[in-house]
């Protein structure tokens, strides 16, 4: 399994962002299942899901205060990393 994500610490809050397919953001059951599956990679911290449209414009889902912060920065400012797990 490979996925793109990031861990960010901002204003004393640590959280993770995981890139997912956009359709996941539109289904509450899929969102929660997906978020739980990534919790083994990011235990104990909030997980924000990010989908992108065809132009690469991000949409975030998760804690509202963290989503507001993410909307105020450009995605290129996020320290993305490719995670691998077998």
pLDDT of residue 36: 95
3-state secondary structure the chain: CEEEEEEEEECCEEEEEEECCHHHHCCHHHHHHHHHHHCCCCCCCCEEEEEECCCCCEEEECCHHHHHHHHCCCHHHCCCEEEECC
pLDDT of residue 64: 96
Instruction: State the average pLDDT over residues 16-25.
Output: 96
Query: Total domain count for the chain?
Result: 1
Domain ranges, residue 64: 2-84
Instruction: State the average pLDDT over residues 8-31.
Output: 95
pLDDT of residue 86: 57
In the chain, pLDDT over 90 holds for what percent of residues?
91
CATH number at residue 25: 3.40.1350
pLDDT digits (tens, 9 = 90+) for 43-74: 999 999 999 998 989 999 999 999 999 999 99
Predicted structure pTM score:
0.92
């Amino acid at each position: 399994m490979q996925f793109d994500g990031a861990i960010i610490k901002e204003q004393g809050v640590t959280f993770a962002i995981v890139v997912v397919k956009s359709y996941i953001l539109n289904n509450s059951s899929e969102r929660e299942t997906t978020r739980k599956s990534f919790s083994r990679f990011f235990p104990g911290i909030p997980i924000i899901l990010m989908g992108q449209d065809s132009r690469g414009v991000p949409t975030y889902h998760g804690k509202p205060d963290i989503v507001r912060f993410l909307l105020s920065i450009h995605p290129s400012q996020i320290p993305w990393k490719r995670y691998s797990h077998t």
